[in-house]
Amino acid sequence: MAGRTGRLKTWYEEHVLAGILDGAMAGVEPLRAELLPQARGRVLEVGFGTGANLPHYGDEVSSLVAVEPSEGLARVARRRLEAWGRPFELIEMSGSRRLPIDDASVDVAVLTFVLCSVKRIPELLAEVRRILRPAGPLLVAEHVVAGTPGHAAAQRALRPIWKACLGGCDPARDTRGHLEAAGYDTAALEERPLGLPWLVRPGLVGVARAPR
The residue ranking higher by pLDDT, 7 or 193, is 193
User: Is residue 1 very low, low, confident or very high in pLDDT (cuts 50, 70, 90)?
Assistant: very low
pTM: 0.93
* pLDDT, tens digit (0-9, with 9 covering 90-100), for 95-131: 778 999 999 999 999 999 999 999 999 999 999 999 9
The answer, yes or no, to whether residue 15 has pLDDT greater than 90, is no
Angle between helices 2-12 and 71-84 (to 10 degrees): 40
Q: In whole angstroms, what is the distance from residue 123 CA to residue 78 CA?
A: 25
The answer, yes or no, to whether residue 8 has pLDDT greater than 90, is no
Q: Where are the domains of the chain?
A: 2-209
> Count of residues for the chain?
212
CATH number among 2.20.25.650, 3.40.50.150, 1.20.120.1780, 3.40.50.300, domain 2-209? 3.40.50.150
The answer, yes or no, to whether residue 4 has pLDDT greater than 80, is no
* pLDDT, tens digit (0-9, with 9 covering 90-100), for 142-199: 999 999 999 999 999 999 999 887 778 999 999 999 999 999 999 999 999 999 999 9
Helix (H) or strand (E) holding 63: strand 61-67
The answer, yes or no, to whether residue 6 has pLDDT greater than 90, is no
Cα 119 to the center of its chain, rounded Å: 13
Q: What angle do CA 101, 106, 114 make, to 5 degrees?
A: 80
* pLDDT, tens digit (0-9, with 9 covering 90-100), for 52-95: 999 999 999 999 999 999 899 999 999 999 999 999 999 998 87
Q: In whole angstroms, what is the distance from residue 79 CA to residue 83 CA?
A: 6
Contact present, 95 and 120 (Cβ < 8 Å)? no
